Structure 1
Amino acid sequence: MSTCRLSVNLNKVALIRNARGANFPNLLQVALDCEKFGAEGITVHPRPDQRHIRYDDIPELRGKIATEFNIEGNPTPEFMDLLRKYPSDQVTLVPDAAQALTSDSGWDTLAFASFLQEVTEELKSLGARVSIFVDPDPKMIEGAKKLGADRVELYTGPYAHEYKADRAAAIAPYIKAAEAAAAVGIELNAGHDLNLVNLAYFKQNIPNLLEVSIGHALTVDALYMGFQNVIPLYKNCLR
């Protein structure tokens, strides 16, 4: 069995649903099916413009998800109000700008230490594990540990972008980041642009990786092969 969990991000499923203004595909049913097909967690990322996951999706999903429920987002007042009403198993704090197309950088855990510590303490008091989205920079990882986070999620966009040109160079900063996480005693997640081509190599080189959150590539693969076939393929990459 894998020691690294696969959390399926449903943002792109919600984007397809929203395109026609109805509940088709049914987001909850897709989440339950993904669990049935082997997903070990469900991730959602409600953004301020609610262009995919909407705030009103959270209460329906929260009571039905049997695996780990991970809510990502920038801790705006609206986001925090949502988490107070519907506590999650894990909250991943992401420094998204309001109009960001997708997550493209991690937190500066030194510059925003006071703010992140306050948010982290409140979320932990609500029973959530707190993960902070960071670049593969040992200083940012050390900063996350000092402010009280349980985990960091490494932003893997640069790794995915550089993988085909030179995978050894692409993975190098992530190996150092993983070593830094182990040294300070903070747990490790990863996510962004991981796929069936680059995931296994990442996992092989990051042995202390506990969870990956994958949405875009997994959903695209499911268009061709179906979630029932794709989820086991991703899990195989993590073994």
Structure 2
Amino acid sequence: MSLLSMKDIYLPVTDLERSIKWFKNIFDVRFAWVDDKKGKINFANDTSIVLVESNQLNEYTHIPFNLESQNMVKSRSMLIEKEVRTKSSISDGFHCLDFFDPDGNRLGLVGAEIPNKLDQHQKVAICATFLAVRNIDKAIDWYSEIFGLSFRSWSFRGGAGYNSHTYEHDLTINYAASNFPHWGGITLVETPKVNPLVHIPYIIQTSDALALYNKLQIKDINIGKLQRDNGTNYFEFVDIEGNQIGISDELN
């Protein structure tokens, strides 16, 4: 019943049609599917995000995910040319650039300072997701105990990714990441403030959602109702920080 991969990474928006047009225009992406309230964007390397139309946005204190470009020179020029609002451009051989979507959601774009070839295609893909926490040590202990995850920790000075009205260049942020076997992983980030998320940040796929559901029940974890659709089990749990996370059987 191990956690295997990220399934869906969600980004709430207020106007789905507007956001679809914006992402298509900026990143030249295709949508896997669109319905009345959701649309799934396909990026490179079989990565994707799901836009969710909502009256309430997640008030992120740290960017929810990073996109990685194979050519940051082209990507940065493209954002400037298309008049995308950017912030926190930091480079030390690896370029980190934050930008904003039409709703003001702050997102990350990263990549090597100098591409292998200057004419190399941008090829933008999701490379990391982030979950803001108040106490990273307690969160690490909780996820390690409940799911058997191992984390690697590091710190980054400069505040890139931290969403604040007053950008602090000397701010040091602590991170801890645990990679899943198939794709993606949990990256915890300890920020000076944390706002509750109104929409789940993502769904994680597991080898046996029903067995994991029963295990979390025994451990007295706050979990929602078990749902079953076309042979696939799904439920949501609440972690030690109050974040609500989705769990689903891995799709073949």
TM-score if structure 2 supplies the norm length?
0.30
Greater CA radius of gyration, 1 or 2?
Answer: 2
